[in-house]
A = this chain, B = another copy of it.
Amino acid sequence: MANVKLLEYLSPLIPDSAESVSLLVSHFEHKVLQKGDIVLKEGEICTAFYFVESGHLRTCYNKEGVKINMHFHLEGSITSDHINGKAGIPSEFTIEAGEKSEIWVLNRETLVELCHADPKIMIFGRRLLSRILVDLSAHSNLFRMYTPAERYQYIEKNSPHLLQRVSLSNLASYLGMNRRTLTRIRAKK
């Protein structure tokens, strides 16, 4: 039940206080997932944050029966369909394990309660939200401003590990191109 990555992620977000950190950590629920295990299903309301301790989660949606990947979250990152979840809107996304994974789940309601109970956790809550939104917005700008081929080059340069972890078909749908096109891009060069 490792939580090294979790602590690494939380520490910079919470004012230094052993009690607050351990109070916070104690409310994360540990889960072990096999490849394909679903964390959030399309149509459900997202009620939690999912931190990846090991393995990875993929967020995808259904496009005329085909699964299209929106995000991959490797170990050390956190995901959620927070904006819709908070508003009580069913998610269009499914979040599932892309491989055997260990995750830590923090219920949104629980976090709200902790925020009221502990001002340091309140600060954490704000920083967490802000970080999630900043990451999300950076990610979506990247996808808006780059062509599929540029996205591939970006990934190659900035998170090459992802290429080892995700199948070509999954990567292709993530980049917004056909598998054949991705093969071509890799072929030349």
- A binding-site residues for B, Cβ under 8 Å: 61, 63, 68, 70, 83, 87, 92, 133-134, 136-137, 140-141, 143-145
Contact = CB atoms under 8 A, between A and B. Distances in A.
A87 B63 CA distance: 36
A81 to B, nearest CB: 10
B133 A133 contact: yes
Contacts of A137: 83, 133, 136-137, 140
A70 B133 contact: no
Given A87-B134, A137-B136, A143 B145 contact: no
Contacts of A83: 133-134, 137
A145 B61 contact: yes
A87 B131 CA distance: 11
Nearest to A138: B83
A170 B133 CA distance: 28
Contact of A140 (B87, B92, B144): B144
A136 B185 CA distance: 31
A174 to B, nearest CB: 10
